[in-house]
Amino acid sequence: MASQKVKITLPDGSVKVFDAAITGEQLAASIGPGLAKAALAMTVDGELKDIYSPLEKDAAVSIITAKDEQGLELLRHDCAHVMAEAVKELWPKTQITIGPVIENGFYYDFARAEPFTKDDLPKIEERMREIVKRDETIRREVWDRDKAIKFFKDQGEAYKAEIISDLPEGEEVSLYRQGDFIDLCRGPHLPSTGKLGTAFKLMKVAGAYWRGDSGNEMLTRIYGTCWRDKKELGAYLHMLEEAEKRDHRKLGREMDLFHFQEESPGAVFWHPKGWTLFLKLIEYMRKRQDDAGYVEISTPDILDRELWVTSGHVEKFGENMFYTSTPDGREYALKPMNCPGGVLVYAQGLKSYRDLPMRVAEFGKVHRFEPSGALHGLMRVRAFTQDDAHIYCTLEQMKDECIKVTELILDIYKDFGFADVALKFSDRPERRIGSDEVWDKSEKALKEALEATGRDYVYNPGEGAFYGPKIDFVLRDAIGRDWQCGTLQMDLNLPERFDIYYIGEDGNKHRPVMLHRALFGSLERFVGILIEHYAGRLPLWLAPIQVVIATITSDGDDYAKEAHAALREAGIRAELDIRNEKINYKVREHSLVKVPVMFVVGKREAKEGTVSIRRLGSQNQEILPLKEAVGALVKEARIPS
């Protein structure tokens, strides 16, 4: 049989011709010894393959090394396999399940009677390093499906057997063998465990449901991180430390903004400084909404249970609600949403088409009984304040209103430095009220409105509110984390249920469209996001204490009081520090609680009528006449608009 020539096209466009089939390894070697050593895998006509796979026909081939994103993913994937191998060596009875790559690393879920604890991690890690040192060859094997199922069953690996059983018919069952360890895997993998290197670390253990379903048994998951080299690993660990430093729970305590306590799990006790920040956000939002043509209302926190039956909340949201009763035997519920109360305000008096659109805002505090395990500082609480609003309009006005809301949200986020905002469109969930026809109609209308904004969005099937489809606004903070904040929901159901209407031009009753929207979402959570986004260093307009006037010696006390009065007079939130302490001590203390500006005054400033301005985090001192300094700050501290 005459050998077939093989023509390989490389990424730079060059072409290599071989007399017979070769492997990726041989191809890499033909290019250079360095590449041969670095080669982890390859793509053949775009498809990722093991580096030792044969190249039997003409193809475009690109050698993957650790430098490639795909190469890094391979390292992480292999790291998961090496971890599973280590675990099986140490505790042979442990069952292995799945071990995918995730952002920054990987995890592997194991099934065993005794869950792992973090004390097991060093031992596993040590064994992993041994396996890397052994440099075991990793090879792909394709097995007959039934044989594979039997094999894993015989090994006591019920989960693996189940995974294979569930593979679609016709899909190849591939296994990867390294040393004595063999695992079901689609691949590809590194050619040997030695290629993994040592830049990995096991991070934490956690419980996780089999197949992510809370009805299934809980497995024990080990998370690890894995990088190209020690330097990258170090940088990642350092980044984690930095993120920890800006944890809003820690900063909230240090800056004396709020606290939590047992008597009301998941509810915030706001301290004066935290509440100042909270109120500033509301003040800002009021202004923006006022400019955008909104009016504001306030509705009761506790409403008759029957109302929540009418709205559908008891049925569809009931297990997330707080209920209460009074000595007279009446049943109430704490509002988990503001909409029903808002609808009752709309329903007061006749509305004309001339009144629409009506944009009605409410800073309503809602209570939701969240699962205990979900609570997390300000980010996930059981009582929170929404910057809620309901827009009542006609179907024709609806698109325009959606565009306006979208523009408002994006513009407001910019004032906080959130420029990177993603939009998500969610349609009907399983648990919902209303007919499919109504859902068809609202989904179509909302989607058209979304498309009319001209912005990109991602589709999130089945994630809508129980009364209507929605658009969510997800912002990215200073350290790259995503937060879902704003929401815009289309609702044809509640108007129906509460039978609200307006009188149209034709003199007849018509059903209005109701849009639910929130921009910050939860004020509590938004404060948490801001604290972490700014690492506690809030912009001047939001800082609870904007300026501290600190004296150097008591000779400056009288003048410091003057400066303090001038600042207060100008509306600046200023505090006076005339304690008998050294200036170093005062500077340190106020810096730690992140006061943005300090006025330092001593004899010199008192004599000259100036202040020495020190900005948080800066060593610089700016000397300005008091009046000028106050004027500049007033300008700088203005609420954005």
Partner RNA sequence: GCCGCGGUAGCUCAGGGGUAGAGCACCCCCUUGGUAAGGGGGAGGUCGGUGGUUCAAUUCCACUCCGCGGCACCA
Q: Which amino acid is at 3?
A: S
339 is catalytic: yes
The active-site residue out of 95, 386, 489, 546 is: 386
* Residue 239 found at the interface with RNA (CB under 7 A): no
Binding mask 439-478 for RNA (x = CB under 7 A): --------------------------x------x------
The continuous run of DSSP H or E covering 248 comes out as helix 248-254
Piece in contact with RNA (CB under 7 A), picked from 49-57, 66-74, 132-140, 199-207: 199-207
431 is catalytic: no
Q: Which two tokens stand for residue 434?
A: 């209303």
Task: Compute the distance between CA of residue 345 and CA of residue 324 in angstroms, rounded to an integer.
Answer: 23
Is residue 34 classed as helix, strand or coil in its secondary structure? helix
Decide whether 181 or 439 has the Cβ nearer to RNA: 439
Among 81, 368, 399, 428, binds RNA (CB under 7 A): 368
Among 24, 341, 521, 596, binds RNA (CB under 7 A): 521
Among 78, 524, 532, 577, binds RNA (CB under 7 A): 524
CB of 75 to RNA, least distance (A): 21
* Residue 373 found at the interface with RNA (CB under 7 A): yes
Decide whether 500 or 616 has the Cβ nearer to RNA: 616
Decide whether 49 or 380 has the Cβ nearer to RNA: 380
Residue keyed to tokens 């006022």: 290
The answer to whether the CB of 209 falls within 8 A of the CB of 222 is no
Task: Compute the distance between CA of residue 288 and CA of residue 640 in angstroms, rounded to an integer.
Answer: 9
CB of 577 to RNA, least distance (A): 11
Q: Which of residues 107-146 bind RNA (CB under 7 A)?
A: 115, 117-118
CB of 347 to RNA, least distance (A): 25
* Residue 206 found at the interface with RNA (CB under 7 A): yes
386 is catalytic: yes
Piece in contact with RNA (CB under 7 A), picked from 163-171, 370-378, 395-403, 568-576: 370-378
Among 66, 233, 600, 626, binds RNA (CB under 7 A): 600
Q: Which two tokens stand for residue 111?
A: 């099934």
The active-site residue out of 516, 525, 564, 586 is: 516
Size of the site for RNA (CB under 7 A): 72
* Residue 205 found at the interface with RNA (CB under 7 A): yes
Is residue 633 classed as helix, strand or coil in its secondary structure? helix
Which residues does residue 611 pair with via DSSP β-bridges, in sequence order?
A: 624
User: Helix, strand, coil: what percent of the chain each, to 5?
Assistant: 40, 30, 35
* Residue 508 found at the interface with RNA (CB under 7 A): no
Look up residue 353 and give its DSSP letter: G
Q: Which two tokens stand for residue 509?
A: 């009753």
Closest C-alpha to 470, from 460, 480, 479, 478:
460
Sheet holding 59-64, edge to edge: 15-18, 6-9, 59-64, 41-44, 47-50
The continuous run of DSSP H or E covering 516 comes out as strand 513-522
Piece in contact with RNA (CB under 7 A), picked from 19-27, 326-334, 375-383, 413-421: 375-383
368 is catalytic: yes
Task: Compute the distance between CA of residue 108 and CA of residue 98 in angstroms, rounded to an integer.
Answer: 6
Binding mask 536-575 for RNA (x = CB under 7 A): ---------------xxxxx--------------------
* Residue 376 found at the interface with RNA (CB under 7 A): yes
Among 621, 627, 634, 639, binds RNA (CB under 7 A): 621
For residue 38, give Cα distances in angstroms to 135, 191, 193, 195.
15, 11, 13, 8
* Residue 313 found at the interface with RNA (CB under 7 A): no
248 is catalytic: no
The answer to whether the CB of 335 falls within 8 A of the CB of 305 is no
Task: Compute the distance between CA of residue 501 and CA of residue 319 in angstroms, rounded to an integer.
Answer: 30
Q: Write a three-state SS string for 400-419.
A: HHHHHHHHHHHHHHHCCCCC
Decide whether 135 or 370 has the Cβ nearer to RNA: 370
CB of 542 to RNA, least distance (A): 18
The answer to whether the CB of 511 falls within 8 A of the CB of 495 is yes
* Residue 637 found at the interface with RNA (CB under 7 A): no
Measured on CA atoms in the order 202, 205, 206, 208, is the torsion positive or negative? positive
Closest C-alpha to 78, from 112, 45, 40, 111:
40
The active-site residue out of 77, 273, 390, 432 is: 390
* Residue 493 found at the interface with RNA (CB under 7 A): no
CB of 584 to RNA, least distance (A): 4
CB of 459 to RNA, least distance (A): 16
* Residue 484 found at the interface with RNA (CB under 7 A): yes
Largest CA distance in the chain: 104
Decide whether 338 or 551 has the Cβ nearer to RNA: 551
Piece in contact with RNA (CB under 7 A), picked from 153-161, 368-376, 433-441, 493-501: 368-376
Look up residue 56 and give its DSSP letter: -
Q: Which two tokens stand for residue 306?
A: 């029957």
**Exposed (0-12), middle (13-18) or buried (19+): which is 73, by Cβ within 10 Å?**
middle
Decide whether 205 or 538 has the Cβ nearer to RNA: 205
Measured on CA atoms in the order 407, 409, 412, 414, is the torsion positive or negative? negative
Binding mask 242-281 for RNA (x = CB under 7 A): -------x---x------x-x--xx---------------
Q: Which two tokens stand for residue 415?
A: 């004032």
Piece in contact with RNA (CB under 7 A), picked from 280-288, 325-333, 442-450, 599-607: 599-607
388 is catalytic: yes
Task: Compute the distance between CA of residue 288 and CA of residue 283 in angstroms, rounded to an integer.
Answer: 9
Q: Which amino acid is at 358?
A: M
Among 209, 236, 323, 541, binds RNA (CB under 7 A): 209
Decide whether 163 or 208 has the Cβ nearer to RNA: 208
Among 66, 138, 173, 616, binds RNA (CB under 7 A): 616
Piece in contact with RNA (CB under 7 A), picked from 217-225, 391-399, 415-423, 506-514: 217-225
The answer to whether the CB of 298 falls within 8 A of the CB of 284 is no
Which residues does residue 218 pair with via DSSP β-bridges, in sequence order?
A: 209
* Residue 505 found at the interface with RNA (CB under 7 A): no
Decide whether 337 or 358 has the Cβ nearer to RNA: 337
- Residues marked active site are found at 339, 368, 386, 388, 390, 470, 516
